[in-house]
């Protein structure tokens, strides 16, 4: 059994991934190479090859590094509107300010051919979905919204639009937009017509 990890290993891994992430954001996936990280950090190429014998794995680890420690704190148990806004602000911050916003598109693209990337996405998205879902369920329990509200679709609406705007349209996600999006979702959730049952 192993006591503690050699701090040197952690140090090089951390420094290398920091640099790789930086390169990834600034110059794109093609620029993330052992040689480039060596140049940026001074960590010798042979050491980098020992840590990541295959470039693909290096890139995947960089992605994981970018997603960072995902500790989603629980939303306050206020009214639905406040809780949703809290979630949305959290999401928008992640897209606007953390490295995540800049590399998410790369990870998604990688997922097309790399199973690990897809797993990473599933993990992160699953976490966020569950998180928002809990908020809706709590609101149902407080009778703020109908018991048959289309929660799944409301969650998708809430999350997919900011991703789409940011990653695909390149449109800004500012304070005003957050307000209008929340308003849009909340009026749907609160009015809660029987969307799925009143089919013509």
Q: Of 8-16, 61-69, 141-149, 178-186, which segment contacts a second copy by CB under 8 A?
A: 178-186
Element (H, E) at 141: helix 115-141
Residue 183 makes contact with a second copy by CB under 8 A: yes
Contact 190, 145 (CB under 8 A): yes
* CA–CA distance, 162 with 143 (Å, rounded to integer): 27
Name 90's Cβ contacts closer than 8 Å, sequence gap at least 6.
Answer: 72
**Min separation Cβ 42 and a second copy, Å:** 25
Residue 193 makes contact with a second copy by CB under 8 A: yes
Among 72, 146, 161, 178, binds a second copy (CB under 8 A): 161
Q: Cα 72–153–140 angle (5° rounding)?
A: 70
* CA–CA distance, 168 with 198 (Å, rounded to integer): 33
- Partner from a second copy, DNA, none contacting 46, C-beta within 5 to 8 A by type: DNA
Residue 178 makes contact with a second copy by CB under 8 A: no
Binding region for a second copy (CB under 8 A): 27-30, 81, 102, 105-106, 108-114, 118, 121-122, 125, 150, 153, 156-157, 159-161, 163-165, 167-170, 180-181, 183-184, 187-188, 191, 193, 195-196, 198-200
């Amino acid at each position: 059994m192993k006591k503690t990890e050699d701090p040197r290993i952690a140090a090089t891994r951390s420094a290398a991934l920091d640099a790789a992430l930086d390169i990834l954001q600034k110059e794109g996936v093609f620029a993330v190479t052992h040689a480039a990280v060596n140049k940026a950090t001074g960590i010798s190429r042979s050491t980098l090859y020992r840590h990541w014998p295959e470039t693909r794995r290096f890139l995947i680890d960089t992605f994981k590094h970018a997603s960072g420690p995902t500790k989603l704190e629980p939303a306050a148990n206020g009214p639905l509107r406040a809780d949703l806004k809290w979630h949305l602000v959290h999401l928008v911050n992640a897209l606007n300010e953390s490295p995540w916003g800049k590399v998410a598109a790369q990870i998604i693209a990688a997922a097309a051919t790399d199973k690990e990337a897809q797993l990473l996405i599933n993990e992160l998205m699953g976490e966020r979905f569950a998180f928002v879902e809990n908020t809706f369920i709590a609101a149902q329990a407080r009778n703020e919204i109908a018991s048959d509200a289309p929660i799944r679709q409301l969650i998708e609406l809430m999350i997919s639009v900011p991703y789409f705007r940011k990653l695909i349209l390149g449109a800004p996600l500012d304070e005003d937009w957050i307000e209008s999006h929340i308003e849009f979702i909340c009026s749907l959730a609160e009015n809660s017509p029987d969307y799925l049952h009143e089919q013509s």
